[in-house]
Amino acid sequence: MPQDFDGPEHSDADENVLVFAADADVSDEPLASWTVLIVDDDNEIHQITKLALRDFNFQQHKLEFISAYSAAEARDVLAQHPEIALILLDVVMETDDAGLTLVRYIRQQLHNDVVRIILRTGQPGQAPEQRVVQDYDINDYRAKTELTVQRLNTTVVSALRAYIAIEQLARLNASLEQQVQARTAELLASNQQLAQSLAELEAGERAGKQVQFKMLPPQDFRVAQFQFSHALYPSEFMSGDFVDYFAADEHKVVFYIADVSGHGVASAFVTVYLKRFISANLERYRRGSSTLVTEPAALLALLNAELLQEKIGKYIALFYAVLDTRDGTLSYANAGAFPWPLLLQGPHASYLPLKSTPVGMFDFSAYATQNLQLQQGNRLWLFSDGILDLLPQQATEQKLQHLQLCSAQHSDIAALLQALAIQPEQPLPDDLTILTLTWH
């Protein structure tokens, strides 16, 4: 603890004058304290400062002083005492700018933005006050003759309040960073495949595109008399759209089409997340521990909850379906995918209206599983909303009618794109994905 000093009796007129006094006994009672570093080459200034602040108490804490008599000595003290809350710093010491140089050292080399600094000078006017306060991140800049007892106390209180606020903010940021790091470590540990994919994506957009496209299913996939086909055209190197189909067991085929909000790298990361999420549930299904992958509405509800919990900041428009190849029964649920699925029955095509909200958008979203009995010769068309941006009609309803008419007249994706006058090799305003299911 610092040495305390008693002051002599004085009148009100003498209240603001800094004077010396005989030493007083220091209390043996240990108290928590604010650590203050006094940096000045004048020993008298050290004594006067301690005397002026001897009775100072802020938030039940007194002051504990450390003295340094040069900027060089102050550097050593700062290295040994990270708890210092306030520095009372002389401007002119071993050099004319020793104090200002020390401030730069503290802020720029020590990266200490928490400790508060009050500059004191015996040569006012040497450096413009306003410029010094702004340029050097200090709390105050005063001539030593200005700092009366009352003003010094007020200045220290103000500086300590700023220190508390900044220190609490720094601790909060550090805590948040630790939480983020801990959560990131958990995700990496539980999802090595995702970590590997993300690392490859970070290597560059071109490498990322290769990784993403490797996750896609084969362009044509046949199970019994059913044929699945798809085409995916990204608007950038990487796509926020995704499509997949796979056999869950010998009779059930899962397929889905997804459109992540936005496009490019950030949205592509979420498609990797989606792929891993469904793959994990497929593994549980094949182990016999869960049937969720074959329950469209329940799977969408869980995905919605996890996206909101992870606070990814993206949502996914997703149509998810399960086909039973034994009898052509189709179970499906929709999470905001639009245009709606288009079912071709003979020469006629009709939409399956399914109004709903994307996963990852609202915690109150609810999803329902629908059932449809397909017939031999039926074809199901699924599109991401990027196709609507490429149609010439003005109104959405007109676009849907045009898409419906053309889809009824063509049986494969390439022919349909040609009929719609869409050239996917040209730059696209949005990602474009098409999926078809045909019962031959």
What's the DSSP call for residue 288? Answer: T
Among 129, 127, 139, 66, CA closest to 98: 127
Separation in Å, CA 179 to CA 22, 48, 172, 175, 185: 52, 46, 10, 6, 10
Q: Average pLDDT for residues 139-160, to the nearest whole number? A: 87
The more confidently predicted of residues 14 and 332 is 332
**pLDDT higher than 60, residue 207:** no
**DSSP bridge pairs for 196:** none
**pLDDT higher than 80, residue 332:** yes
**Does one domain contain both 390 and 266?**
yes
What would the DSSP string read from start to end of 201-238?
Answer: HHT-HHHHHHHHHHTSPPSEEEETTEEEEEEEE-SSSS
Residue 261 in any domain: the answer is yes
Distance CA 231, CA 243 (A): 9
pLDDT band at 144 (very low <50, low <70, confident <90, very high): confident
Distance CA 218, CA 255 (A): 12
**pLDDT higher than 50, residue 205:** yes
**Does one domain contain both 175 and 215?**
no
pLDDT value at residue 173: 83
Q: Whole-model pTM?
A: 0.55
Residue 318 in any domain: the answer is yes
**pLDDT higher than 60, residue 23:** no
**Does one domain contain both 226 and 105?**
no
pLDDT value at residue 400: 96
**Does one domain contain both 230 and 376?**
yes
pLDDT value at residue 129: 56
Three-state SS letters, 399-420 = HHHHHHHHHHHCCCHHHHHHHC
**Does one domain contain both 290 and 159?**
no
Distance CA 318, CA 113 (A): 47
**pLDDT higher than 80, residue 352:** yes
pLDDT value at residue 191: 66
**Does one domain contain both 304 and 236?**
yes
pLDDT value at residue 270: 92
**Does one domain contain both 225 and 176?**
no
**Does one domain contain both 91 and 17?**
yes
Give the dihedral of Cα atoms 113, 114, 120, 121; nearest 10 deg: -10
Q: Average pLDDT for residues 251-261, to the nearest whole number? A: 96
**pLDDT higher than 70, residue 187:** no
pLDDT value at residue 208: 58
**Does one domain contain both 362 and 278?**
yes
Yes or no: say if 431 and 209 are a contact pair by the CB < 8 Å rule: no
What mean pLDDT is reported for the chain? 86
User: What are the structure tokens assigned to 370, written together?
Assistant: 């629908």
**Does one domain contain both 226 and 366?**
yes
Q: Which residues contact 152 (CB under 8 A, 6 or more apart)?
A: 49, 52, 53
**Does one domain contain both 39 and 146?**
yes
User: How many other CB atoms are found less than 10 A from the CB of residue 213?
Assistant: 12
**Does one domain contain both 133 and 219?**
no
**Domain span at 426:** 205-439
Separation in Å, CA 311 to CA 259, 262, 267, 366: 18, 16, 14, 19
pLDDT band at 4 (very low <50, low <70, confident <90, very high): very low
pLDDT value at residue 318: 98
Among 413, 409, 425, 293, CA closest to 348: 409
**pLDDT higher than 90, residue 74:** yes
Count of the separate structural domains present in the chain: 2
Q: Average pLDDT for residues 299-323, to the nearest whole number? A: 95
